[in-house]
Amino acid sequence: MESLRRLYIFTGKGGVGKTTLSKAFVRYLLEHDHEAIYLTFQGQSLSDVQTGTTEKTVNGIREISLDLEECARTYIEKRLNSKMIASWIVKTPFFRALINMVPGFSYLIYLGRILEMGKANPRLIVVLDAPASGHALTMVESTTNFKQIFESGAIFEDTGKMLALLNNPEYTKIHVVSLPSLMSWQEAVELRTGLHERTPVDVDITVNNCLFTLVENDLEKLPQGLRDKALNEKQLIQDNLSEMRCILPHSLSHDPLAIETELVGSLAKLI
């Protein structure tokens, strides 16, 4: 088995099952006596309506949804040692415009908060249900961009630390999630290529919700439409098996918790 990382990023096109798979992976880690959380971002820009970072435990999983303004305020407060000044800065039009207009600034703030969480708790494993495809590329390259913009000073130093961890193959791993269709697979391969160009960490593709692996012994019993779908999936797998890190079967359950539980036994390869 590969060595355990501290940050696992799940990304891919919308609708491929990132959320369910991310939560199932948290369950896998918890069942193997690791401390893990499920984490998401609330948005990529500041708005007048902020809900604050939320944390809750759902069906045994600790779920955190990071609020951008709160993360920014926490960082500035730490740097300036003043909660009052930090609260004022994040409300200024200039700061809000900077975050909303500069590509990747929000991700720099979020990633800083994630790495701070890991520093505060050396046992913690963060499973990030990341923004889809294009946003994931911006997120991965954001620290590199800002390290070039801020050539010295505190932000330069902090960004360098983020970059070192985010691009450390022993700390971070990225999973691109795909459905077992040709279009979804091609999009996943393109995303993996784009990520490989931006980071040296491992980027694997997991094929989710595969009907063929569930019915391969009963193909002749299926209605024609389902049989055609399963055979197309079979061909896709045969043509690209060496590039697929993990192939997860279709679930007959409709309850999210039941699906997560079913997946847990198939996720060892995601380590």
Region 80-96 average pLDDT = 90
Q: What pLDDT does 5 receive?
A: 97
85 domain residue, yes or no: no
Domain that holds residue 202: 7-66+104-270
Give the count of domains, the chain: 1
54-58, strands of its sheet edge to edge: 54-58, 61-66, 35-41, 124-129, 7-11, 172-178, 202-210, 244-249
The answer on pLDDT for 15 being more than 60 is: yes
Give the separation between CA 91 and CA 254, rounded to whole angstroms. 43
171 to 53, 164, 192: CA distances (angstroms): 24, 9, 18
**pLDDT given for residue 50 in this prediction:** 62
* Domain annotation covers residue 52: yes
Q: Is residue 87 part of a domain?
A: no
pTM higher than 0.95: no
| pLDDT score recorded for residue 151 | 67
pLDDT, mean over the chain = 89
Residue 220 is predicted with a pLDDT of 86
Chain centroid to Cα 38, Å, comes to: 9
What CATH number is given to the structural domain containing 159? 3.40.50.300
Q: Which two tokens stand for residue 202?
A: 């491992």
Residue with tokens 């192939």: 247
- Confidence (pLDDT) at 102: 74
Residue 2's pLDDT is 73
Q: What is the largest CA-CA distance in the chain?
A: 69
Q: Of residues 52 and 159, which shows the higher confidence score?
A: 52
* Section 33-53 average pLDDT: 84
Average pLDDT estimate for 168-185? 96
Instruction: Note whether residue 83 is domain-resident.
Output: no
Confidence check: pLDDT of 152 > 70: no
Alpha carbons 91 and 200: distance in angstroms, whole number? 36
Q: Which range among 109-123, 142-156, 177-191 shows the weakest confidence by mean pLDDT?
A: 142-156
pLDDT, position 163: 80
pLDDT of residue 177: 97
If you average pLDDT over residues 20-26, what whole number do you get? 97
pLDDT, average across residues 55-62: 96
What is the reported pLDDT for 64? Answer: 97
Q: Rounded mean pLDDT of 229-253?
A: 95
pLDDT in tens, 226-236: 999 999 999 99
Is residue 145 pLDDT above 70, yes or no? no
**171, two tokens:** 């700390």
The Cβ of residue 214 has, within 10 Å, a number of other Cβ atoms equal to 15
**1 — pLDDT class (breaks 50, 70, 90):** low
The answer to the question of residue 76 being in a domain is: no
The backbone region for 209, taken as left when phi is positive above 0, alpha when psi lies in -120 to 50, beta otherwise, is left
Residue 95 within a domain? no
Q: Do the domain assignments include residue 72?
A: no
- Please give the distance of CA 46 from its chain centroid, rounded to a whole number: 21
For the residues 126-148, what does the mean pLDDT come to? 77
In a domain, 77, yes or no: no
